[in-house]
Structure 1
Amino acid sequence: MKIVKATLPNHSVLKTTQTKYDYTDSFKGQLHDADKKITSTDIGKAFFSTGPQWISGLFTLRNKIVALFGLKTSENKKGQEELKHFTCEVGDQVGLFKVFNKTENEVVLGEDDKHLDFKVSLYIAQINSETKCLTISTTVIFHNWFGKLYFLPVRFFHKLIVPTMLKGIINQLEKTNTNTIPQLNTINN
């Protein structure tokens, strides 16, 4: 499976908000969905259930460090419990990630904090009768110098994490190809 760098999809909620972002990136990959069963809800759920253990470890480290500075963190047990009841509707939250917007083709997750706001778009588009394109886009708005400083190391890991997660999401969705995504590792430790 090939994951490639992309641009924010033209019909993404994040593209149409007229907001100026300090950072954006996008990655995309194709998935097989001949039965046309994969929905934006499935993709939102898979986002939380397909991350490899090393990503969970990075989030655990992140939470320990940023707690010292009074930034928002998530707890593993709380995140696991939230995932059980996650319906991927606007206002739902798992760990740090709250659902800000949801359409037939997109789920926008993220968080607003005192140092920066970030949003993650999970955008799916039909390519042909059996294939869809899934694009994960990230946008960041810095509120102060600490947000810029915080994002320096995050940016490096982000470019490793997102393509890995995208591959995991696509693999999981193609395997199950149902509306029920099994619970695996969560990224919100």
Structure 2
Amino acid sequence: MIVKARKDAPENSQIRSQIFDYWDCFQGVLIEKGNRATPSQICIAFLTSVRELTQKLLLVKHKVFSFAGGKAAEANTMPDLNTFNYQTGEQLGLLKVFYRNEDEILLGANTKRINLRISLFLEEVQTEPQRSLSFTTTVVYNDFFGRIIFFLIKPLHKILARYLLKSMIEKIQHLGIPNN
């Protein structure tokens, strides 16, 4: 599966109206068999992928801490993702839904240092049953430390964004879409 960087965000994406200091966009092709994925289902695939990645990273952290004689904190549990409606204003752990329509869900978080937005955008392509899925991130730096922090994590962010997009597409294609 190929995930590629885009030169801009999808034309009809709500994220294009955002003001930002940094942005990137990655896109992959989603081949849907049967039911078509909704923004809510894409969001569930995203959050599940984040959860799995976080668990892997925490396992590595735990092993490092254990090896060094320390004790790592337990991971926070994310609530059941199927209990949410994925509507504007709803809070999903650290992320809030800022916008949603039939093609896109815009998640984000505002912190002391940065404001983060993540757009998951479904776009029609010429060949049925394919659609493209774009993963766009924007960041606003709220202070000098936010700029420094994001500068340090930006290379890792780009790797993780590609990984998460690929994981989301695989989940949707291989596990199928449940009827809602």
TM superposition score normalised by structure 2: 0.81
Whole-Å separation in 1 of the counterparts to 2:12 and 2:58: 30
Whole-Å separation in 2 of the counterparts to 1:103 and 1:135: 15
Q: 1:42 to 1:163 in 2, by over 3 A?
A: same
Which of the pair has more CA radius of gyration? 2
1:89-100 to 2 correspondences below 5 Å: 89-100=87-98
Q: Secondary structure at the match of 1:167?
A: helix
Letter in 2 for 1:50: S
1:56-67 to 2 correspondences below 5 Å: 56=55, 58=57
User: 1:99: how far off?
Assistant: 0.8
Q: Which residue of 1 aligns with 2:146?
A: 147
Whole-Å separation in 2 of the counterparts to 1:91 and 1:54: 25
* TM-superposition CA deviations, 1:17-70 (whole Å, max 9, x none): 2x4311000000001114352111110111111247444455797xxxxxxxxx
User: 1:82: how far off?
Assistant: 5.0
Q: Secondary structure at the match of 1:141?
A: strand
Whole-Å separation in 1 of the counterparts to 2:81 and 2:51: 16
Whole-Å separation in 1 of the counterparts to 2:57 and 2:151: 15
Fraction of identical pairs, as percent:
26
Which residues of structure 1 form unaligned runs of 5+?
62-74, 182-189
Q: Which residue of 1 aligns with 2:159?
A: 160
Q: Which residue of 2 aligns with 1:8?
A: 9
How many residue pairs match? The answer is 164
Q: Which residue of 1 aligns with 2:168?
A: 169
1:127-138 to 2 correspondences below 5 Å: 127=125, 128-138=127-137
User: 1:179: how far off?
Assistant: 3.4
User: 1:97: how far off?
Assistant: 1.1
Kept in 2: contact 1:46–1:172 (CA 8 A): yes
Q: Which residue of 1 aligns with 2:100?
A: 102
Kept in 2: contact 1:37–1:179 (CA 8 A): no
1:76-95 to 2 correspondences below 5 Å: 76-77=76-77, 79=78, 81=79, 83-95=81-93
Whole-Å separation in 2 of the counterparts to 1:180 and 1:152: 42
Which residues of structure 2 form unaligned runs of 5+?
62-74
Q: Secondary structure at the match of 2:115?
A: strand
TM superposition score normalised by structure 1: 0.78
